[in-house]
Amino acid sequence: MLSHTEENYLKAIFNLELSHSKNVSTTLIAKNLHTKASSVTDMIKKLAEKNLVNYQKYKGVTTTTEGKKRAIKVVRKHRLWEVFLVEKLNFNWDEVHEIAEQLEHIESDELIERLDTYLNYPTKDPHGDPIPDAKGKMRAEKAILLSNANKDILYKITCVKDNSSALLQFLDKHALNIDSELTVLDKFDFDNSITVELNNGNNLTLSHKICTNVFVTIK
Amino acid sequence: MLSHTEENYLKAIFNLELSHSKNVSTTLIAKNLHTKASSVTDMIKKLAEKNLVNYQKYKGVTTTTEGKKRAIKVVRKHRLWEVFLVEKLNFNWDEVHEIAEQLEHIESDELIERLDTYLNYPTKDPHGDPIPDAKGKMRAEKAILLSNANKDILYKITCVKDNSSALLQFLDKHALNIDSELTVLDKFDFDNSITVELNNGNNLTLSHKICTNVFVTIK
DNA sequence: ATTTATTTTTAGAGTAGTCTAAATTTATGA
DNA sequence: TCATAAATTTAGACTACTCTAAAAATAAAT
């Protein structure tokens, strides 16, 4: 059985491995968990001792097969609880992250499977992130960043990168949601902003920062 | 903000205060939390420092007004989650205690009020225990122990004292539930067992141990 | 009332996790 | 390639909580 802290480290390492690929560095983990590099080193040693990460001094870490399994389980729990909070308790999608961060550590296999059933086996959370199934399989999304989208092609939003309230509230205010459809009309070299047309006919100019935090697929 | 451990101590002290009345002893708390008396002394000092309990060396503790408020909130959360687990996720009443023991520490006022709304403001948990409302008010139940019930009077079960699976499974097997109706037919001095008649006409003889763990009120 | 038993507290130490500051290793760049 | 910068690890200390064993206080019993 892992402590909440161990689970948090494992989840962070796993996520960073996916987004930054291969050997995750100590400082990157520290930044992610708002802690210090020295604390990370200590914890990494502990996780390596338990065969949950591969670790060589000064070379960063990767998760082992067992480590991945544990991390995926935490991710599954986090995302299922997010669906519960939004679908059943009517929370807004920008309010659920902190609470799910706590709920993901509740220990009970039976609970999580019953929750999954109750929610009717959802495959994505309110932010569009895929929910791993009970075996740990996760839908591989061939989504691209909105910043890399081409002009005059119809896309739909599938996922947002950042779960911060600030981003989610911005999207809400501009009627942008998971499954919203849009076409890129213009790309501006000056500040890398782009103008999109929504399927209600409205035009919207989005900053580069927004575009690098929103994933889309061709509709 | 209190740690899980502090909340657990506070809840235990509060419950023992209700059941054993006045100045709860160090050993009683230790037994209740499966820890050692010396650990209890340490924690009591910490809680006294925060004005959550009144403490005089060697004289036991009582909760302060603020301490009671915090304890009641934990109890409210525990019991609401138990209702959720039974009503929505179809757990049996003997399976929910351990999980609720974890869920009761999730920190979010918004969450607990939305859960309450979602469950349609229940007033008792699956074991018949009263759920405090958002202001901390709890229904005062004038229930008596089945062991103190009189002959030939129609009672109904309102609550069970012990949340252990063993007791709950015994009751399940004998079709005894919250709101089950029964009449005491006989009381045996030899072993303090009693014979009851259920409203389906069946007779049942119950041991003293069972009778001191089941609460009833006159129907 | 004084011994004995029980309860409670203190003292000292251990584990999990955190930090700062210093030392070491790796990466960078003239 | 050699100096310097950046990243990483170690060392030592701190908080929260736990324990055992011994000391002190209270309760019980002759």
User: B47 in helix, strand or coil?
Assistant: helix
- What confidence category does residue A141 fall into, taking pLDDT thresholds of 50, 70 and 90? low
The DSSP element (H or E) to which B12 belongs, if any, is: helix B4-20
Tokens of A10: 């494992």
Cβ-Cβ contacts under 8 Å, A111 against chain B: 85, 89, 99
Q: What is the CATH number of domain B144-218?
A: 2.30.30.90
Closest B-chain CA to A87: B118
In the block, which residue shows the tokens 């911060």?
Answer: A164
Handedness of CA B41, B43, B49, B55 (dihedral sign): negative
In DSSP notation, B80-116 reads HHHHHHHHTT---TTSSHHHHHHHTT---HHHHHHHH
Q: Which nucleotides of C are covered by protein (CB under 7 A)?
A: 7-12, 16-22, 25-26
Q: What is the ipTM of this complex?
A: 0.83
**Which residues of chain B form CATH 2.30.30.90?**
144-218
CA(A172)–C1'(D21) in Å?
62
pLDDT at residue B56, as a whole number? 95
Asked if strand D comes closer than 7 Å to B58 Cβ, the answer is yes
Q: CB–CB of B129/B79 below 8 Å?
A: yes
Give A151's pLDDT tier (boundaries 50, 70, 90): confident
Q: CA–CA separation, A105 vs A119, rounded Å?
A: 19
How far is residue A123's CA from residue B189's CA, in Å, rounded to a whole number? Answer: 62
In sequence order, what DSSP letters do the residues of B21-37 get, joined into one string?
-SSB-HHHHHHHHTS-H
How would CATH label the architecture of B4-63? Orthogonal Bundle (1.10)
Where do the CATH 1.10.10.10 domains begin and end in chain B?
4-63
Lowest mean pLDDT among A49-53, A63-67, B158-162: B158-162
Average pLDDT for residues A97-106, to the nearest whole number? Answer: 98
In total, the C-beta contacts within 8 angstroms joining chain A to chain B are 37
Q: How far is the CA of A67 from the C1' of C17 (A)?
A: 20
Which of B85, B98, B118 faces A89 most closely, judged by CB atoms? Answer: B118
Confidence (pLDDT) at B20? 83
Q: How far is residue A157 from each of residues A8, A160, A178, B181, measured CA to CA in Å?
A: 28, 8, 5, 57
Mean pLDDT confidence for A125-146: 86
pLDDT > 90? residue A50: yes
